[in-house]
Amino acid sequence: MVGVKGTLRPLEEIPGKVQSLLSIVVDVSLTSESGREYLEITVEPHPNPISYKDQFHYRTGSTKQVLRGAALSRFLLAKYGKTWDEMPLPRVGLRDLDDRVVDAFRRRAVGSGRLPAEVHGEPIENLVENLSLRDGEHLTRAAALLFRPSPGRLVPDAYLKIGYFRGSELLLQDGIEGDLFAQVNRAMDLLYTKYTRGLVSYDGVYRVETFPVPREAMREAVINAVIHRDCVTPRRSRFGSVTTGSRSGTRPT
C-alpha cells in the first residue's frame, strides 16, 4: 500500500464518471492503512450486461470486440436467460390467436397422449399458461408463430421457402406462410406433389410410388428447417429453407 494524496477530488468525481460511462452506481470510500490513505471502490455484481459509452464489449482470448447487431442480440438474450421466441409481443392478445389452429393442436396432443382429453373443454388461457407462452401481461413470439393466422405481420420473415435446383440454376420456388403447423403440412404436400418424383411400380393392378426420401425423414428435415431458424439474424435465410436438387435425388437441407 503506497497511499493516495489529494483524495477529496476523486472521492467526488469517480462516482459521477462511473455512472456517466457505465450507467451503474458504485460506492467510493476513503480508507487508511498504516497511516496511508487510499480509495476503495465497491462494485456489486450485476445480473444484466453493463455497457461502456452505450457499447457492449466482449473479450475472447486476448482480443476485445464490440458487440453489434445479431451478436449483441444473442448476447443480451443469453445474459437475461431468454431465447428469441420467449420475448413478449405487446401487440398480440388472446383474441389474435386462431381458434381452429388451437383446437387442431389440442386434438393432436390428445391423440398422441401428451395431453389429457379434458383440455378440449378448457379455456385458451389455460393452454397458453401451460405451454409457457406468456411473459407477464403479454404473449410471446412463440404464441404468435404457433397460433396466429399470419405471424409474418408481426415477426419479419416468418415463412418457409422451398426451391428446386439443377446444379446452381433455380427452377422452381415456393413461399409458404401461415402458422408453423400449416407451414410444415403445406411444405410436405408440395415436396411430394411438386418437387419430388416417385419410382412407379405395381402391386397387381394397383400403382405404387416409392419416393427417394421416406416421409419420416423428410418430415424431420422440414421441421428442423422451421424450428432451427436463426430468427435473431434478419434476412439470413428467411424462416427456413428446404432445397431439392435433381442430380442426387431429393436433397432436403
pLDDT per residue over 211-247, tens digit each?
Answer: 888 999 999 999 988 887 766 655 444 444 554 443 3
pLDDT per residue over 2-27, tens digit each?
Answer: 888 888 888 889 999 998 898 888 99
Residue 172 near residue 242 (C-beta atoms within 8 A): no
Taking all residues of the chain, what is their mean pLDDT, rounded to a whole number? 83
pLDDT value, residue 54:
83
Nearest-angstrom CA–CA distance, 76 and 67:
10
Is residue 64 classed exposed, middle or buried when 0-12, 13-18 and 19+ CB atoms within 10 A define those classes? exposed
Residue 39 near residue 31 (C-beta atoms within 8 A): yes
3 torsion bin: left (phi>0), alpha (psi -120 to 50), beta (else):
left
Report whether pLDDT(53) > 80: yes
Q: Which range, of 4-13, 68-77, 125-134, 241-250, averages the lowest pLDDT?
A: 241-250
pLDDT per residue over 149-170, tens digit each?
Answer: 877 777 767 788 888 888 889 9
Q: Average pLDDT, stretch 179-204?
A: 90
